[in-house]
C-alpha cells in the first residue's frame, strides 16, 4: 500500500463494527475517505454484551450520542459498579465501585489512613467511604453533580444496555455520517498475490467490495485477521480456564439494581444485568469442570425473574490475537481477542481499538513501525485487563471446590504476582496511566478477597489515629446523607429516561 487510504471496509456489523464505523466516520467525515460496513443478516451477531465501564460515556459523546438518547434507545440502566457475591467465601459479597474511596487526608492514598485506623481497632469497612456503595445499598441513583462542592461531583458510573439496540443506534448515526452498508455473507477474502495485502471481499451473491484498508470486526470468526492473514493467537486458557457461557433473559424484577451482580458458582460465575425491560443472565463456566446441562440447570435455578427464553450456550477461547494489525488490516472486537465478561471490558477494548485506530491511521506511505506500535499498545491493553481478571480468581477463598482450588494455586503472570507481593508488603499499588483499572479497583478486589498488607504506609503516621477516625466518621456520615437524598434508580429512570 503506498497511497492515502481512500476506502475503509469494515467487515462485521456487531457492536465492534458499528462502533468502528461511528467513530471513524465522525472523525473522517470531512476527508476524502469512504467507509463501508459489510454485515450478514444470516450470520447475525453474538447477541450478548450488555454491561460497560464508565468510559463508554466518553465514546458516546465523541460520536454524538447523548446520554439520555442512549439510555432511551437501548433500554439502558445505570451501573455504579459490580457486586461480587461469594468470591471470597459463600455468603459474603462486596461492590467493586467506579468512584474513589474517601478523600485525601494527607500525602498518602486514602486507603493507607483507613489501614492505619483499622490497625488501631477501627472497624468500619472500606465501602463505608464510597459514594457508589452508599447509593447501591438502597438502589439509589442520580447524575453526577457539576457543583465541585457536592459529594455527588465525584460520582462515576457506567451503563447496562441492550447491545443489539446499541449497534442499531450506532448504525443510524454512522449512516448519517455517510457510512455505506452492504448486506451479505462474505465467502472469500481477496489478497494481492505478491504482498498478501487484502484487496477486497467477495460475497455469496457474487458482489465484490474492494478497499485499501480493512477493519476486521467479524467476531470470533476473525475472517480477515486470522482466516486470511494468519495473525496467530496467544491462548490464555491456562490463566482463565472458563471457555463457555450459557445465557438467558428473564423478566425485570424490583428493585431495579444500579449494579451488575457476579455470583461465584461451582465452576465459574453467574452474571445478572438489569435492563429496563428485562434482566440479562448468564453462567460463565469451565467445560472441564461442569457439563453444559448442569451449568444450564444451575442458571435456570438461580434466576430471580421468570425466564423469557431457552438457555443458549456460547463457546469462546480466551486470549488475544498475536498481532491485531497485520498488513492493511486491523482487528477490533472479538476478532482481536476475548476476555470473559467479569469486569465488562470487551466493549471498552473495542472503544480503545477504535480510538487507537484514529490515532494510528496510516498516511501516504505504509509504515510497519506504526503497526508495530499499535500491536504493542494493544497487547498492553489486553494484558492489563487479563491480570485484573486473574486476580479475582487467584485471591478466591472458596476452599474445597476443585475449580476454585485449582485457580487459587495456579501460577499467575509475573506482572500480577509482583503487584500482589508489593501490596502484601506495603499496601501500595503503582498504576500506569494507560491502565483502565485504577487504584480503587485494585484495592477493592485485593482487600475484599482477603489480601491484606502486612503494614500501612509509614507516611500515614503524619496524621494521628484520632484525627483519621474523626475524618472517616465525617466522610461516612456525609456519604450516607448524600445517598439518602437521591431518588431510587427506578424512579430516576422513570422520570428522566423511561422507555418501558
Ligand atoms: P459479533 O457480535 O459476533 O459480530 C460479528 C459481525 O461479523 C456480525 O455482524 C456478523 O454478521 C459479521 N460476520 C461474521 N462473518 C461474516 C461473514 N462471513 N460475512 C459477513 N459478515 C460476517 N462485552 C462487554 O463489554 N460487556 C459484557 O457484559 C459482555 N458480556 C459478554 C458475555 C459473553 C458470554 C460473551 C461471549 C461476550 C460478552 N461480551 C461483553 C463481549 C461482547 O459481546 C462483544 O465484545 C461485542 O458484542 C462485540 O462483538 P463483535 O462485534 O466483535 O462480534
Give 380-400 pLDDT, tens digit per residue: 999 999 999 999 999 999 999
Reference 14, options 43, 36, 34; nearest CA is: 43
- The grid coordinates of residue 35 equal 467507509
Chain segment 65-78, per-residue pLDDT in tens: 999 999 999 999 99
Q: What is the pLDDT of residue 104?
A: 81
pLDDT of residue 363: 76
Cα of 148 vs centre of ligand 1, distance in Å, is: 39
Residue 144 forms part of a structural domain: yes
* Ligand 1 pocket member 162 (CB < 6 A): no
Sheet hosting strand 325-326, strand order edge to edge: 180-183, 34-39, 7-11, 213-216, 329-331, 325-326
Strand-pair category, 81-85 with 93-97: antiparallel
Is position 436 within any domain?
A: yes
pLDDT given for residue 14 in this prediction? 96
**pLDDT value, residue 103:** 85
Q: How far is CA 61 from CA 64, 99, 364, 446, in A?
A: 5, 20, 30, 33
Q: First CA to last CA across the chain, in angstroms?
A: 50
CB 148 within 8 A of CB 88: no
Q: How many domains does the chain have?
A: 3
Residue that finishes a domain, picked among 255, 284, 315: 315
Considering 315, 339, 369, which residue would you say is the last residue of a domain?
Answer: 315
Give yes or no for a contact between 343 and 385, defined as CB atoms under 8 angstroms apart: yes
Q: Which residues contact 414 (CB under 8 A, 6 or more apart)?
A: none
Cβ contact 77:489 at 8 Å = yes
Please check if 334 is assigned to a binding site.
Answer: yes
Looking at ligand 1, which atom is closest to the CA of residue 42? 11
Judge if the beta carbon of residue 16 lies within 6 A of ligand 1. yes
55 and 35 co-located in one domain: yes
Q: Is the CB of residue 295 less than 8 Å from the CB of residue 165?
A: no
Residue 465, number of CB atoms within 10 A of its CB: 16
DSSP alpha helix (H) spans, 228-367? 292-301, 346-360
* Longest pairwise C-alpha distance within the chain: 77
CATH number where 23 lies? 3.50.50.60
Distance 55 CA to ligand 1 centre (A): 19
Total residue length of the chain: 500
Q: Are residues 124 and 149 in the same domain?
A: yes
Q: Give the dihedral of Cα atoms 357, 359, 365, 370; nearest 10 deg.
A: -80
The answer to whether residues 278 and 423 belong to one domain is no
Residue 496 Cα to ligand 1 midpoint, Å, equals 30
With a 6 Å cutoff on the Cβ, whether 453 touches ligand 1 is no
Q: How many CA atoms lie within 13 A of 168 on its CB side?
A: 13
User: Per the domain annotation, does 171 fall within a domain?
Assistant: yes
In a domain, 465, yes or no: yes
Q: Mean pLDDT for the chain? A: 96
Q: Is 334 in the pocket of ligand 1 (CB under 6 A)?
A: yes
The answer to whether residue 201 is domain-embedded is yes
CA of 28 to the centre of ligand 1 (A): 25
Catalytic residue among 79, 323, 327, 394: 79
Q: Give yes or no for residue 38 CB within 6 A of ligand 1.
A: yes
* 127 assigned to some structural domain: yes
Q: For atom 18 of ligand 1, which residue has the closest CA?
A: 186
Atom of ligand 1 nearest to the CA of 334: 52
Peptide bond into 255 cis (omega under 30): yes
- Does 223 fall in a domain? yes
Q: Are residues 179 and 54 in the same domain?
A: yes
- The reported pLDDT for the residue numbered 55 is 97
DSSP letter for each residue of 449-464? TT---SS--GGGGGS-
Q: How far apart, in whole angstroms, are the C-alpha atoms of residue 372 and residue 247?
A: 37
The counts of H helices and E strands in the chain are 14, 21
Measured distance CA(476)–CA(469) in Å, rounded: 10
Q: Which domain holds residue 34?
A: 7-76+161-236+318-383
pLDDT at 29: 85
C-alpha cell at 5: 487510504
C-alpha cell at 174: 454512522
**C-beta separation of 81 from 97 below 8 A:** yes
Spacing, Cα 220 to ligand 1 middle (Å): 7
79 included as an active-site residue: yes
Ligand 1 contacts CB of residue 337 (under 6 A):
no
The residue written with cell numbers 447491545 in the block is 163
> Quick one: the chain helix, strand, coil %, rounded to 5?
40, 20, 40
Residues of the chain short of pLDDT 70, as ranges, are 1-3, 364-366, 499-500
- Distance (angstroms) between ligand 1 centre and the Cα of 221 equals 10
Please check whether residue 69 lies inside any domain of the structure. yes
Taking the C-alpha atoms of residue 201 and residue 211, their distance in angstroms, rounded to an integer, is: 9
Are residues 330 and 218 located together in one domain of the fold?
Answer: yes
Q: What pLDDT does 365 receive?
A: 54
Is the domain of 325 the same as that of 456? Answer: no
Grid look-up 498475536 returns 322
Q: Is the CB of 244 under 6 A from ligand 1?
A: no
> Helix (H, G, I), strand (E, B), or coil: what is residue 266?
coil
Check pocket membership of 21 for ligand 1, CB cut-off 6 A: no
67 in a labelled binding site = no
Residue 360: all three cell numbers together: 494510528
Is 135 among the annotated ligand-binding positions? no
Probe target for ligand 1 pocket from 48, 320, 332, with the most ligand atoms within 8 Å of CB = 48
Same domain? 228 vs 107: no
For position 134, what pLDDT does the model report? 98
Q: Is 44 annotated as a binding residue?
A: no
Domain end: 285, 315, 345, which one? Answer: 315
Q: Examine the domain organization and report whether 472 and 434 are in the same domain.
A: yes
Same domain for 67 and 51: yes
> Is the four-CA dihedral 113, 103, 61, 136 of positive or negative sign?
positive
Q: Tens of pLDDT along 101-126?
A: 998 899 999 999 999 999 999 999 99
Q: Which of 20, 52, 333 to mutate to test the pocket of ligand 1 (most atoms within 8 A of CB)?
A: 333
Same domain, yes or no: 62 and 191: yes
- What pTM did the predictor assign? 0.97
Please tell me the predicted confidence (pLDDT) of residue 364. Answer: 56
| Gap between the Cα atoms of 409 and 69, Å rounded | 46
Is residue 302 domain-shared with residue 440, that is, in the same domain?
no
Residue 14: CB within 6 Å of ligand 1? yes
**Joined grid coordinates for residue 169:** 443506534
Task: Output the CA 341–ligand 1 centroid distance in Å.
Answer: 12
Would you say 124 is a known binding-site residue?
no
Q: How far apart are CA 393 and CA 373, in angstroms?
A: 31
Residue 268, all three cell numbers: 465459574
Contacts 24+ apart (CB under 8 A), 186-195: 186/11, 186/38, 186/40, 186/218, 186/223, 189/223, 189/224, 189/227, 189/228, 191/228, 195/327
What three-state secondary structure class fits 140? strand
Q: 358 and 466 share a domain?
A: no
Amino acid at each position: 500500500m503506498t497511497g492515502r487510504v481512500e476506502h475503509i471496509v469494515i467487515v462485521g456489523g456487531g457492536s465492534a463494527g458499528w462502533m468502528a464505523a461511528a467513530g471513524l466516520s465522525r472523525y473522517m467525515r470531512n476527508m476524502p475517505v469512504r467507509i463501508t460496513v459489510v454485515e450478514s443478516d444470516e450470520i447475525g451477531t453474538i447477541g450478548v454484551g450488555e454491561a460497560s465501564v464508565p468510559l463508554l460515556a466518553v465514546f458516546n459523546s465523541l460520536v454524538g450520542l447523548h446520554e439520555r438518547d442512549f439510555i432511551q434507545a437501548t433500554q439502558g440502566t445505570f451501573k455504579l459498579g459490580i457486586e461480587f457475591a461469594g468470591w471470597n467465601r459463600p455468603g459474603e459479597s462486596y461492590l467493586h465501585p467506579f468512584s474513589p474511596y474517601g478523600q485525601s487526608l494527607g500525602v498518602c492514598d486514602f486507603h493507607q489512613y483507613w489501614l492505619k485506623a483499622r490497625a488501631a481497632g477501627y472497624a468500619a469497612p472500606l465501602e463505608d467511604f464510597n459514594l457508589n456503595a452508599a447509593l447501591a445499598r438502597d438502589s439509589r441513583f442520580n447524575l453526577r453533580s457539576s457543583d465541585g462542592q457536592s459529594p455527588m461531583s465525584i460520582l462515576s458510573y457506567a451503563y447496562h444496555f441492550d447491545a443489539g439496540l446499541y449497534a442499531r443506534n450506532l448504525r443510524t448515526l454512522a449512516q448519517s455520517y455517510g457510512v455505506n452498508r452492504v448486506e451479505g455473507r462474505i465467502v472469500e477474502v481477496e489478497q494481492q498475490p505478491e504482498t498478501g495485502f487484502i484487496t477486497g471481499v467477495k460475497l455469496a451473491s457474487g458482489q465484490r467490495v474492494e478497499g485499501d484498508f480493512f477493519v476486521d470486526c467479524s467476531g470470533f470468526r476473525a475472517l480477515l485477521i486470522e482466516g486470511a492473514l494468519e495473525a496467530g493467537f496467544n491462548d490464555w486458557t491456562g490463566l482463565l480456564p472458563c471457555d463457555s457461557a450459557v445465557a438467558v433473559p428473564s423478566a425485570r424484577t424490583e428493585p431495579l439494581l444500579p449494579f451488575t451482580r457476579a455470583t461465584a458458582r461451582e465452576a465459574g460465575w453467574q452474571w445478572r444485568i438489569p435492563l429496563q425491560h428485562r434482566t440479562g443472565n448468564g453462567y460463565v463456566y469451565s467445560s472441564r469442570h461442569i457439563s453444559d446441562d448442569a451449568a444450564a440447570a444451575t442458571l435456570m435455578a438461580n434466576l430471580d425473574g421468570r425466564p423469557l427464553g431457552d438457555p443458549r450456550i456460547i463457546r469462546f477461547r480466551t486470549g488475544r490475537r498475536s498481532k491485531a494489525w497485520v498488513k492493511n488490516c486491523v482487528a477490533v472486537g472479538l476478532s482481536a481477542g476475548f476476555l470473559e465478561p467479569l469486569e465488562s471490558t470487551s466493549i471498552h477494548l473495542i472503544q480503545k481499538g477504535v480510538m487507537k485506530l484514529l490515532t494510528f491511521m496510516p498516511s501516504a506511505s505504509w509504515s510497519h513501525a506504526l503497526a508495530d506500535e499499535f500491536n504493542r499498545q494493544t497487547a498492553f491493553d489486553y494484558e492489563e485487563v487479563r491480570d485484573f481478571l486473574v486476580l479475582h480468581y487467584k485471591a478466591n477463598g472458596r476452599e474445597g471446590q476443585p475449580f476454585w482450588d485449582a485457580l487459587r494455586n495456579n501460577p499467575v503472570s509475573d506482572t500480577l504476582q509482583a503487584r500482589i507481593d508489593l501490596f502484601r508488603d506495603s499496601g501500595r499499588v503503582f498504576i500506569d496511566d494507560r491502565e483502565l483499572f485504577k487504584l480503587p479497583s485494585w484495592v477493592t478486589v485485593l482487600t475484599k478477597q482477603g489480601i491484606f498488607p502486612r503494614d500501612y504506609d509509614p507516611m500515614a503516621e503524619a496524621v494521628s489515629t484520632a484525627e483519621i477516625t474523626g475524618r472517616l466518621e465525617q466522610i461516612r456520615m456525609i456519604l450516607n446523607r448524600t445517598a439518602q437524598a437521591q431518588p431510587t434508580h427506578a424512579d430516576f429512570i422513570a422520570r428522566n429516561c423511561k422507555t418501558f
